């Protein structure tokens, strides 16, 4: 797959995912979250990973982790999107602590996972 195909494929995938999450969030009454969902995927750090590691059947982040051992794109993404449970983990002098995730983000997380399955698994 050449680089142009990877770029087009990745943009097509994240756009389809965003639209599907938006539709599902709207059904839950989460209008603002549906509109703002995953905007960080359009930032340079996340787009670069998507374009470089796009495969079409799974997240480019997983491919990047396999090759590089970690993903700066994932660290960027989870730190800016409160619908990921990892956003709600903090560390302190007594170790790692989970912070209560507000219900609206739990609902968005569910919409996100359903939409990802629909887009990646068809």
Question: Residue 61: is it exposed, middle or buried by C-beta count within 10 angstroms (0-12/13-18/19+)?
Answer: buried
Query: In terms of residue numbers, what domain contains 72?
Result: 3-121
Rg (CA), the chain: 15
Nearest residue to 82 via CA among 112, 99, 98, 105: 105
- Is the model more confident about 71 or about 122? 71
* Number of domains the chain is built from: 1
pLDDT tens digit string along 1-14? 999 999 999 999 99
pLDDT tens digit string along 9-55? 999 999 999 999 999 999 999 999 999 999 999 999 999 999 999 99
Angle among Cα 105, 109, 112 to the nearest 5 degrees reads 135
Neighbours of 14 (CB within 10 A): 19
Residue 122 pLDDT level (bands cut at 50, 70, 90):
confident
């Amino acid at each position: 797959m050449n680089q142009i195909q990877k770029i087009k494929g990745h943009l097509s995938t994240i756009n389809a995912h965003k639209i599907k999450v938006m539709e599902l969030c709207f059904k839950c009454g989460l209008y603002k979250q549906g509109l703002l969902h995953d905007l960080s995927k359009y930032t340079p750090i996340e787009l670069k990973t998507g374009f470089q590691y796009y495969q079409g059947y799974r997240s480019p982040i997983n491919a990047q982790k396999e090759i590089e051992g970690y993903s700066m794109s994932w660290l960027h993404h989870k730190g800016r999107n409160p619908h990921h449970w990892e956003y709600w983990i903090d560390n302190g002098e007594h170790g790692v602590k989970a912070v209560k995730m507000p219900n609206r983000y739990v609902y968005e997380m569910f919409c996100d996972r359903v939409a990802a399955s629909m887009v990646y698994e068809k």
